[in-house]
Amino acid sequence: ERLCERFSEHGPERIASILRDNSGHAGQAAAALRDLSGSDRGEVDPDDQEHVQTLLTSAAMFSHICKENFRKFDANHNGVLEWTEILLLVNALYENFGLKQPREGFLKSFFEANDANKDGVLSEKEFNIFFEHFLRHAFFDAAAKGSEALPVASRTRTELNEAVRRSKDGIETNSSSGSHGRGVAALRCVAPNGLALRKTADSNDRTEMTVQNGEVVAVLEHWVRTANGWLPVYDSGGQLLLESLQGSTGAERRLRPSPSAAGSPEDVLAAARRAGKPRPAGPDTCDAGISRTASATSTNDASVSVEGILQPGEEDWTERWERLQERFSSLSSGKVLVALRRNKGHAGQAAAELRCLRG
């Protein structure tokens, strides 16, 4: 009865089972129940929390991150994640975000709860559910606080297929403000040489579609930073490629494929590298393997040196700017401020950009 009062969240049957496993020893049973009760989650950085929230609400990027981590920690390449591999994955995640390591007993119960067919391993589908639930626990702990859970990252297969179907033959563009439909934003291309697009977060999933400087595209979904750079708004160096459209006029049109005879911009670039030639003039891309032009780099460096103070209208950024300067003390205050401006004061997105710059 005392154990039921102390650990009421587990229920009498679970407590009785643990007490039997410990031969009626109350102290040992209490230790086991404490191990199952939580992870001693420490203070979570609000910028990291904001970044994870963005990830959890992006179906395309969450799917990409799940696949990336599944392959990374599947050490024996058997197509499933075993308990030891899950343990390494979660510990690496906690260490990366500066969180206290979770209790192994609690993590084990979490693992078993998401092992739907009880075969002792997690398939890729089971891991996706496990990873989403565990990120929510680590950064938001919605269940413990009794708060409303964040929007589910994984949209239904029907919704995703519909988005793919709409964009299969080309991405709709429109220069008229307010004509993209509910919940769909518009971005104007500001990359000097235009953009070459790809269909998904996979850096190899390239298309022949291009957007020229000044053109406007309708946005189906915003992505977040990965190891391959910002997708699709920033390149690997932090250069802004697309800006939010505030209002303009023009006629509706579709993106046109690049001329097949000339090859895609990526193919031209690869050929130039093999031949040891300078990079040809052509569309920039969101691929981290493709660097900015020299003119864009010099312009960006200049902006860092002259824009080291908050401007009118940015006064409410003071606290987040100071917090970012403390976290990224190896970078100048000017670079931190420029990252904050690029992200329109969004501290989480600025922090992700600065992590990439810091290396």
CB atoms within 10 A of CB 27: 8
Q: Which residue stretches of the chain have pLDDT < 70?
A: 9, 27, 31, 33-45, 47-48, 96-100, 141-185, 198-206, 219-308, 359
pLDDT at site 261: 30
Q: Report helix, strand or coil for 90.
A: helix
pLDDT at site 190: 80
* C-alpha separations of 199 from 27, 163, 167 in Å: 57, 11, 9
What is the Cα–Cα distance from 95 to 257, expressed in whole angstroms?
44
pLDDT at site 123: 92
Structural contact between residues 305 and 298, judged by C-beta atoms closer than 8 angstroms:
no
Q: Which residue has 């993590």 as its token pair?
A: 107
pLDDT at site 45: 65
Structural contact between residues 43 and 100, judged by C-beta atoms closer than 8 angstroms:
no
Average pLDDT of the chain is 64
DSSP element (H, E) containing 298: helix 294-306
What one-letter code names the amino acid at 329? S
pLDDT at site 187: 74
pLDDT in tens, 218-234: 765 555 444 444 444 55
- Enumerate residues 6+ apart whose C-beta is below 8 A from 67: 124
pLDDT at site 58: 75
pLDDT at site 56: 77
pLDDT at site 257: 36
Nearest-5° Cα angle at 132, 127 to 133: 100
What is the Cα–Cα distance from 231 to 293, expressed in whole angstroms?
18
The fold of 46-145 is Recoverin; domain 1 (1.10.238)
Nearest to 193 by CA among 250, 277, 269, 304: 269
Query: Where exactly are the structural domains of the chain?
Result: 2-36, 46-145, 170-294, 307-359
CB atoms within 10 A of CB 306: 8
pLDDT at site 358: 73
pLDDT at site 54: 75
Q: Report helix, strand or coil for 208.
A: strand
Look at the alpha carbons of 16, 18, 21, 25 in this order and tell me if their dihedral is positive or negative: negative
Helical axes 46-56 vs 347-358, angle rounded to 10° = 100
pTM over 0.75: no
- Helix ranges (DSSP H) in 291-346: 294-306, 318-327, 333-342
- The tokens for 195 are 């953009």
What single-letter DSSP state applies at residue 122?
Answer: B
- The tokens for 217 are 């595209």
